[in-house]
Structure formats: C-alpha cells, structure tokens
Structure 1
C-alpha cells in the first residue's frame, strides 16, 4: 500500500498547487458532502418536495453512515495529513501541502464517509427527480440530466477530499462506489409507515451492534483509538480537532435520527398535507431551525454527556422537519384561509 499512499500524496500536492485559486470552492464542496449535510440540508429540502423521498434520504443517510463507521473500524485506512509524517518516506523531499479546518477528522480514512454517504443519499434524490421528469416529459435526455449532475457531484466531492488531505484517491473511489450501491439497495425498502417499535429496536440494535463490534475488536487486541491519537499528533491546529468528527458522534447521529424518524411518523402518520406555497415556507423555517439546532454548543466533558446530547439533537431533526414546522405552518395558513 505504500506505493498507493505515496502516489496519493503527490496527487494531492499537485491538486493543491494547480487549483489553489479554487480553494474556497473545494471547501464549500467538502461541506456539502459532509454526512451531516444529508440530515440538515438534503433531508428537509427533499421531504417537502416528496414525502417518501425525504424519508428515504434520512433512512439511507443513517444506514450508509453507520456502515461506513463499521467499514472504517475493520479496514484501518490511513489519512494523508498524518501519513506524511508517520510514513517517514519523505525525508529527501517533503510534499508542499496545506491543511484546512475540515482536514483533521479523527476516524480512520477508508472508505471516505463523505463520498459514501453522498453517493447513497444523492442517488435517492436524482433517481426520484429523474423518474418525475420522465413521467412529465417522456424525454430520456431530460430525465438523464440529474444522473449526470450526480456523477459530477461525486467527482467534485472526491476531489475536494483529496485536496484538503482528508483522504487518498482510492478511498474516495471506494466510498463513491459503495455509496452508489447502497443508494440503489436501500432506497427500494423505505420504512414509511412502520410502527414506532420498529425504529426503536432498529436504533438500539445499531447502537448495540456497533458497541459490541468495538468491544470485540478491542478484546482481540485492536486499538480503535489509534486514528484519534494520530489526528491529534499531526493536525496543524489543535482547535481543528472536534469531537463531532469522532466515530461515536456519527454513531449517535445515525441512531438518533432513526429514532426521531419513528417518533415523527408516530406523532403524525402520513404527515401534513400542504400546498406548494406553505411547503416552501416550511422548507425555509425548517432550514433555519436545523441551522440553530446544529449550532447549539454541547459540553465536551464528560464525553458521555456530549454523545447523549448529540443523540437528542438528531432525534429532534425529524421532529422539526416532519411534525413541528409543517404543523405550525398548516395551523396558521389554515386559519388565514378560514378568516
């Protein structure tokens, strides 16, 4: 693997040097590909266009990110920003590369979570959009346009991850392919209308399953905190190391979102029926609400408290999008029509 990693470092150096003027663009793209964006941005916009597609986005995002965590624990992938120093292969010539605020993620690197979750979630979006366009226009060319944008998005997210030294090229390729396959498979079975018990058991099952895998690997002698230590050692700015990028943060996010999805469907089976104008208003209010929820500061010590509150935060996400905001919009618009 040394040859693969080394070529990846030189590729990242060349990419930074040749596209330095587009740095802000790559940083925006990498934020768009963040798994968190699937829950906070893609989900609300998709939900108010198509309820089933929105539920599918949340479902696919949670399962694909959970699987990405499992793969990372099993594959032990390096990350470029720490491998440069740890490999001791660049004594004669050090690569001229920079780190960024999004570089220093603390989990293992293979496969890329950004690429994997983006590939899975956006497949749900583009396949729904492509089917809608074909049903309205019967044009193969027009209905194929979303799939072209899908490929371009995956390529852009992959390049952005290599650019900021978060991943090697082979890791984003593996993540993109895996995400594409998961998007196809998971979107065929969307748990719409399932009872609350299903989501409760599924959420707890994913949580316990991940913890048992973690404990089992630890018992076998594998140190699963190795990547956290390397990230802290080689990150150029200590403040760029954030607890919300740790593996257990993604685990609690996924389990919280699935439980929240079950609660939202329990409180309001079938959702709220809104015309297009109230839907647009709901998108705007939901986006603002999720923005502020995401910015809520959480105590990082003790870590158990942080993960517990992080779990609750993402239980709230489906409630805001599927129950509270559309319910309030329906209440006020309905009253206005009556008046």
Structure 2
C-alpha cells in the first residue's frame, strides 16, 4: 500500500497546485458532500418533492453511514494529512500541500464516508428523478440526464476530498462503489409507513451492534482510538479536530435520525397533503429550522452529554420536516381557505 499512498500524496499536491484558485469551490463541495448534508439538506429538499423519495433518502443515509463506520473500523485506512508525517518518507522532499478546516477528520480513512453516503443518497435522488422524467416524457435520453449529474456529483465530491487531504484516491473510489451498491439495494425497500417499533428496533440495533463490534475489537487488542490520536498529532490547528467528526458521532446521528423518522410517521401517518406553493414554503422554513438546529452549540464536556444532545438534535430533524412545519403551514393555509 505504500506505493499507492505515495502516488496519492503527489496527486493531491498536483491538484492543490493546479486548482488553487478554486479552493473555495472545493470547500463548498466537500461541505455539500458531508454525510450530515444528506440529513439536513438533501432529505428536506427531496421530501417535499416526493414523500417516498424523502423517506428513502433518510433511510439510505442512516444505514450507509452506519456501514461506513463498520467498514472503517474493520479496514482501518490512513488519511493523507497524518500519513505524510507518520510515514517518514518525505523528510528530504516534503510535499507542497496544505490543510483546511474540514481536513482533520478523526476516523480511519477507508472507505471515504463522503463518497459512500453521497453515492448511496444521490442514487435515490437521480433514480427517482429519472423514473419521473421517463413517466412524463417516455424519452430515454431525457431520463438518462440525471445519471450524468450523478457521475458529476460523485467526481466533484471525490476530488474535493483528495484536494483537502482528507482521503487518498483509492478510498474515494471504494466509497463510491460501495455507496452505489447500497443505494441500489436499500432504495428497493423503503420503510414508508412501518410501525414505530420497527424504527426503534433499527435504532437500538445499529447502536448495540456497533458497540458490540467496538468492544470485540478492543478485546482482541485493537485500539480503535488510534486515528483520533493521529488526527490530533498532525492537524495544523487543534480547533479543526472536532468531536462531531468522531466515529461515534456518525453512529449517534444515524440512530437518532432513524428513531426520528419512526416518530414522524407515528405522529402523522401518511404525512401532510399540501399543494405545491405550501410545499415550497414548508421546504424554505424547514431548511431554516434545520440550519439553526444544526448551529446550536453543544458542550463537548462531558462527551456523554454531547452525544445525548447530538442524538436529540437528529431525532428532531425529521419531526421538523415531516410533522411540525408542514403541519403549521397546513393549519395556516386551511384557515385562510375557510375564511
């Protein structure tokens, strides 16, 4: 793997030097490809276009991110920003590369979570859009256009991860392939209308299985905190190492989102039926609500309190999108019609 890592470092250097003027664009793209964006951006946008597709996005995002965590624990994988220093291969000729605020993620590198979750979630989006376009136009050419967008999105997100030294190229490729497979498989069975017990069982099951795997690996003498130590050691700025990028944060997010999805469908089975204009208004208000919920500062000490509040935050996200905001809009527009 050493030769693969070395080539990846030189590729990142070349990419940074050649596209330095597009630095802001790469940072925006890597932000949009963050697994968190699937829950906070893609989910509400998709939900108000198609309820089934929105539920599928949240379902696929949670399961694919959980599997990404499991794969990372089992496959390990270095990250470029720490491997440059740890390898000691660049003492005489150090690469001309720099780090950025989203560079210093603390989990192992293989496979790329950004690429994997993006590939899985966006497959739901483009396949739904492709089916819709074909149903309306019966044009194979027009219905194939979303899949070209899919390839472009994956290429852009993967390139951004290489640019900021968060991943090696092969980690992006592996993540994209795994995500594509998961998107195809998971989108075939969408848990729309399933009972609350199903989602509660899924949430608890994902949490307990991950904790059991973690305990088992520790029992075998495998220190799963190795990547956190390296991230803290080699990150350019200590404040760039954040608790919300830790492996357990993604696990808590997935469990919270699944429980929230179950609760939302329990409170309002079938969802609110809204015309297009109220839907657009619901989307705008929901997006603003999720933005402010996401920006709420959480105490990082003690970590248990952080994870609990982080869990609550993502339990609330589906409630805001599926129940609270559309319910309020329905109430207001219904009263207006009656008046």
Partner of 1:208: 208
Q: Secondary structure at the match of 2:300?
A: coil
Q: Secondary structure at the match of 1:188?
A: coil
1:97 and 2:100 correspond: no
Matches of 1:152 and 1:200, distance apart in 2: 36
Matches of 1:24 and 1:214, distance apart in 2: 37
User: Deviation per CA, 1:99-141, whole angstroms, max 9, x where unpaired?
Assistant: 0000000000000000000000000000000000000011111
Partner of 1:47: 47
Q: What TM-score, normalized by structure 1, do the two folds share? A: 1.00
Q: Offset of 1:283 from its aligned partner?
A: 0.2
Q: Offset of 1:92 from its aligned partner?
A: 1.5
Where does 1:109-258 land on structure 2 (aligned, <5 Å)? 109-258=109-258
Aligned length: 339
Matches of 1:91 and 1:268, distance apart in 2: 61
Q: Offset of 1:315 from its aligned partner?
A: 0.2
1:289 and 2:305 correspond: no
Partner of 2:273: 273
Matches of 1:257 and 1:202, distance apart in 2: 11
Q: Secondary structure at the match of 2:162?
A: helix
Q: Alignment RMSD, CA only?
A: 0.4
Matches of 2:234 and 2:85, distance apart in 1: 7
Q: Secondary structure at the match of 2:70?
A: helix
Q: Offset of 1:279 from its aligned partner?
A: 0.1
Matches of 2:129 and 2:205, distance apart in 1: 32
Partner of 1:36: 36
Matches of 2:338 and 2:48, distance apart in 1: 24
User: Deviation per CA, 1:157-212, whole angstroms, max 9, x where unpaired?
Assistant: 00000000000000000000000000000000110110000100110000000000
Matches of 1:33 and 1:81, distance apart in 2: 19
Contiguous gaps of at least 5 residues in structure 2: none
Partner of 1:329: 329
Q: What TM-score, normalized by structure 2, do the two folds share? A: 1.00
Q: Secondary structure at the match of 1:290?
A: helix
